[in-house]
Amino acid sequence: MFKSLLFLTSLIFCTSSIAQSPPLTLEKLLFSFAQIKSEQKNFTEEQLDPILDISTQKSGYLVYQSPENLTLHYLTPIKGSIIFTPNQVKIDFPQRTLILSPDNAPQMVFSQTILHLLNGNLNQLSKNFTLQFSQQLNQTWQLNLIPKKQHNQYLHPIRIHGIQQQIKEIFITTRSGESRRISFELSSTP
């Protein structure tokens, strides 16, 4: 009897403390992102090319240094990197190096969007996207970035899923049908 009473009491206290925690808002989330000055995370990426009906899996690690440097270091299936800066995207793989400038819209929109997200820059994100944020169960959330007219020709809405103040997955689909899902290893303490 005492054990069940103790269990019931602890359940009530835990539930009430969870219920009383303030809800996560988009502003709070982006503010917490802006506080991160550098970070390294492991990731896996699945890319689907609908024309060739080919799915590829890649893995590596991401290095972010606020405010303007994001690098995806690929380890498998081949080593290489993609460096995102506000003014260019550099793709560097064995036997192939490519530098994309601002006039190459789809890649630049993606790189600038991710940098604005990691920098917590709500104003810049709002210029190119309509933002739909929803908090879900168990401290999870979803952010949809719906392209405004100037970028609508390149991208479908970008979906970002997270837990607490961490990004868990990013889903990107281009108008040509190519899709990418990037999943990040979560830190034990955000």
Q: Which helix (H) or strand (E) holds 27?
A: helix 26-34
- Comparing 67 with 4, which gets the higher pLDDT? 67
- How confident is the model over 105-123, as pLDDT tens digits? 566 777 788 889 999 999 9
Beta bridge partners of 182: 45, 170
Regarding pTM above 0.75, the answer is yes
Question: Which one-letter amino acid corresponds to residue 15?
Answer: T
- Comparing 160 with 89, which gets the higher pLDDT? 160
Predicted pLDDT of residue 189: 56
Question: Please, what is the Cα angle at 164 between 63 and 20, to 5 degrees?
Answer: 160
The domains found in the chain, sorted by start residue, are 22-184 (2.50.20.10)
Look at the chain and count its residues: 190
